[in-house]
Chain A
Amino acid sequence: MDLFEYQGKQMFAQYGISVSPGEAVRTVGDAVAAAERVGYPVVVKAQVLVGGRGKAGGVKLAANPDECREHATNILGLDIKGHIVKILWIEHASDISEEYYASFTLDRSAKKYFGMLSAQGGVEIETVAEQDPDAISKIHIDPVDGLTEAQCRDWVLAAKLNASVTDQAVTLLMKLYDAYVQGDTDLAEINPLIVTPDGKVHALDAKVSLDDNAGFRHDWAEFESMQIRDDREQAAHEADLQYVGLDGSVGIIANGAGLAMSTLDVVNQAGGTAANFLDVGGGADAKKFINALTIIDNDPRVRSIFINIFGGITRGEEVANGIIGALAAIDIKSPIVIRLDGTNADEGRAILEPHLGDKLQMAPTMLEAARKAVELASR
């Protein structure tokens, strides 16, 4: 789960990291009221889960209520790379004398934690990595040992930050490390990490991605409640299905994440595009197929549905019965193509046979099923 900037800052504040005072609002009126409490000048910041907010006009400085009202009006509803701004973060403006970059993430290759620190902040770290790779100070941390203060200091010194803030930077980065590990984040990033004219080190932005698998040991209900999902993603989330919404016209249901991914691939190879990724998982409960089919059929993009099942321990006839049970319970608008293979595939196909027609078709292989589904979608 990716957090909005303001949520990331709330989390950082819990770990003692210095962030600017501010408030999250959803209306122009609330923005102006919040600015009064926060104190002018304020920065009006669009809360969207995409980079490049500043360039898109989503971050503006306001010196007074008129300016705040004007900016809030312009930014609310703004489309930033397809993300519509619904929330604003109003924070007290900071004076900046230097901008740095700091982050912790997992190096999957080294299987260690990985910290990056640079005196060149405020720009994309990928750009720094390309243009001036030596400007990034890197550290690998063994998860068993954790980050020691001495290691952290060496790392800071290697980054060649302003020498006067070394101690503060070490303290802040130790806290950021705690937030990264104890907070169960996949990414904890501050860009820019600023130094103010009076020499204070301060997190001016926050980019945090939480590890959804660790939700059981945290109270993330408030973060969760603010997640923006489209209708289909919300429905899938409530039905506990592994779902990703896409833009194509062939709805996909497969059992297994790998098979679902490869189903997208073969639909593409057949000249079509998938409307979604959906892993229905193991088992063959009719309820699961009802949920999956309903979500897909309610998607206005969908013109045909491709159910791709490989029977393992769950046998073909169980899956066939689950699908037939689901189709008896609900009315599906789009035509369905089924590919059923693996354990007891023949028995499963025999169960499907009497139900076949224009609305429900069967294909012997994954590729043929994909071609058929693509053809139906283009009709």
Chain B
Amino acid sequence: MFKSKKYLILLLVTAMMIFGAVGCGDDTATEDGEGDILIGIMVPTTGSEAADGIDMENAAKLAVEEINAAGGVLGGRMLVTTTGDDGCDPSMATAAASQLVSEEVVALVGGYCSGATLPTLAIYGDAGIPFVVAASNATSLIDENPGWAFMINSTGLDQAASAVEKFISLGVETIGVIDSGDAYSADLKEQTIIQWEAAGYEIVADDTVQRGEVDFSAFVTTIMANTPDAIYWTGYQAEGALLIRQLREGGYEGVIMVGDGSSAQELIDLAGDAAEGVLCTGPPLTDFLPAAQSFIENYEASFPREPGAYAALMYDATKLLADAIERAGSDDSAAIKEALDATDGFEGLAGPIMFTEQNTLARSNFVILEARDGRWALVE
């Protein structure tokens, strides 16, 4: 028995070495600068955030189609995409990231849930693959970024500032905050608390629920005992919609505001009438971008659905990446990273893109939205 096992191991090791060598051969082949260029897309295509994730995947594919139809990059080479599903879950995301790295993508776009994006940054950094992060924006991403990720959505700091500013302008004096325990929502809540207290106001309720929670009655009861002027929910729409319903049903009449994780139309659909008047510190929603009207038409012509909240940012991320490849003059990952670093005012649908020293967007892009008649509307 032992002997045969040893042989089996030997056989496996030999096989690995042979296949390893074949892999190396592939590497040199792509460095010749011939053939298609493989770009990875990492978004949640299953799970509770699949709606936004699929919108983003579609937007990236649309951008790639347009680029290829216009002659590709680097003098006629086509872009090809492969998608990894992060499921808005850290452990699924690391598996997806390893898969994408093994497929030898030259660069990546995507990143929706910050909690899922966070552990992948080191994986892509170690592999030396640049990653244009379209939506994820927790401030913790900044600290964990080994330098290969570029965030084109404003961060939690900017968002908390928008929320605090809006509350003050509404004359709110006490707020309750609640998050869903993941990196993104905990970070946004933390930043909001810091900035709100720095502005000299009071937090009267602070709670955390788990992802997937359906019953907020205990929190609602606490809220009704303390009656803050406003409540800020920093998590995603699935739980947010239930929270809004239960707050209104429980008799809460103050201001309810949600973060950009809840900015999908789905929040209003799920919360129904209770959503009316809810505010949102939102991303630059595709609908409200003057530059995005032709994008919306093209999107709806290609896919049987409306582009979601993050489609425009994902489209920008993909176009930015193609632009960087062109400027790098090669499909070498390190050269693409340098070109991304040097980005100076690339005109995206959501406005010009340039990066700070920390690879974050050098301006705040948050807007305040309000749910009116079952749709998000821009508050001037």
Q: Do A and B bind each other?
A: no
Chain B residues with CB under 8 Å of chain A are none
